[in-house]
Amino acid sequence: MPTSTPAFTESTATRLRQLLEQPELLAIPGCHDALSAKLCEQAGFSSAFMSGFAVSASRLGLPDTGLISYGEMLNQGQNICNAVSIPIWGDGDTGFGNAINIKRTVQGYAQAGFACIMLEDQIAPKRCGHTQGKSVVSRDEAAMRIQAAVDARNEGADILIMARTDARATHGLKEAIIRTQIFHEIGADINFLEAPESLQEMQQYCQSTPGYKLANLIEHGKTPLLSHAELHRMGYKIAVYPLTLLNNSIQAMQHALIALKNGHPPTGLNFNELIETVGFNAYYHDEEKYKTD
């Protein structure tokens, strides 16, 4: 009996590389669970970013201050990556330990299905880049972290490496730019200077550092919210909105709860829209396909 050869499927990392090769800016929303990732895909986004801030808030109900573990982030990422076909970027925090831990984290994220992992130079326990109390490791240790990640990629982990520095808040813009330049020289696929505070700082970073650069755009955060066209002209390749969905979903739930408490249940989606969104109709289709008499 002849057997068929399964069709070759490109990895999500390969598809992300192809997206980055396109001339336009890549705008990606943040997600925090499988449902929010599916909503990103249904809305037509070509990629999405699993935010550690949002996962910590939604999964633990706790702030992004290093309280969530590698295992919890990995499990959340597996659920997200399995729910969608678009490439997912994963927040890898500080790598969850020393250089060997970082290599394991990169390998684990690749196996979970992530297309890219973000690693940063904060001292653990880390915290959101737009909040107070940050501190960073030395320049040498920051470089070592990215070298370990790049080594894991070069040894077979099919995943892109995004190197982030938070040194702007602790050591100033000049040191932060030096770190992004070092990360690029080491071989990071993408670099990310967190929380520049003005147009001038954003321009200086873009003019000083080669390679793909990411702008982290948080509503009412430290970095100016610019249009996609302005960011692209400045030299950014990626614009990520990590907290937009979490922020708006919290607000929507708060409003719904107030209305419910006051005896006026909000309408929201009609039930048919709800069951379509979460996948009931696709399930019914498969159920009918495999039904026996």
Q: Which residues make Cβ contacts (< 8 Å) with residue 254, sequence separation at least 6?
A: none
pLDDT for the residue numbered 127: 73
CA end-to-end distance (rounded Å), the chain: 28
**203 within some domain:** yes
Asked, for residue 259, whether it belongs to a domain, the answer is no
Closest C-alpha to 219, from 181, 191, 192, 247: 247
For residues 118 and 160, give the distance between their C-alpha atoms in angstroms, rounded to a whole number: 9
The answer to whether residue 220 sits within a structural domain is: yes
Predicted local confidence at residue 32, as pLDDT: 97
What's the domain count of the chain?
1
Q: Which pTM value belongs to this model?
A: 0.93
d(CA 76, CA 78): 6
Residue 264 lies in a domain: no
Question: Angle at CA 75, nearest 5°, toward 123 and 110?
Answer: 75
Does the residue 280 lie in any domain? no
CA separation, residue 259 to residues 253, 265, 273 (Å)? 10, 6, 21
pLDDT (0 to 100) of residue 129: 65
The CATH number given to whatever domain includes residue 76 is 3.20.20.60
Q: Is residue 112 part of a domain?
A: yes
Looking at the domain assignment, is residue 144 inside a domain? Answer: yes
Q: List average pLDDT for each run of 10 residues in the chain, which is 293 residues long.
A: 56 97 98 97 98 96 93 98 98 96 98 98 81 88 98 98 96 98 98 96 97 96 94 98 96 95 90 92 91 80
Please report how many Cα atoms fall inside a 13 Å half-sphere around the Cα of residue 165, on the Cβ side: 33
249 domain residue, yes or no? no
Query: Which residue range forms the structural domain that includes residue 149?
Result: 12-244
